[in-house]
Amino acid sequence: AARRALTLDGALVAGWEILAACQQASGELGAAAESLAQALVHAPDSAPLNDRLGLVLFTLGDVSAALRAFARAAELAPGAALP
């Protein structure tokens, strides 16, 4: 359903988030990172999206990119307890 929604509106942030969650759950971490990056194209100031991207990148072993995503999340929401 998320893929179908994205074919209709590629700027639908929630569609990218749902697709990333499904990909992450099925172990497709590289695809999940790409989907989160697409969501961030349309919502670059989203601290939760940056945080989720950081978690996925860290799991993939891309520590430097993960740290950049975590730093961006912290910059956007200082002091926030992100999920």
Query: By three-state DSSP, how is residue 17 classified?
Result: helix
The set of residues, in sequence order, having a beta carbon less than 8 Å from that of 21 and lying 6+ positions away, is 32
* pLDDT tens profile 1-44: 667 666 666 667 999 999 999 999 999 999 999 999 999 999 99
Three-state DSSP at 6 gives helix
The model's pTM is 0.86
On whether the CB atoms of residues 51 and 69 are closer than 8 A, the answer is: yes
Q: Do 16 and 6 touch, CB atoms closer than 8 A? A: yes
- What confidence tens digit (pLDDT) does each residue in 50-72 have? 999 999 999 999 999 999 999 99
Angle between helix axes 47-60 and 13-25 (nearest 10 degrees) is: 30
- pLDDT of the residue at 77: 87
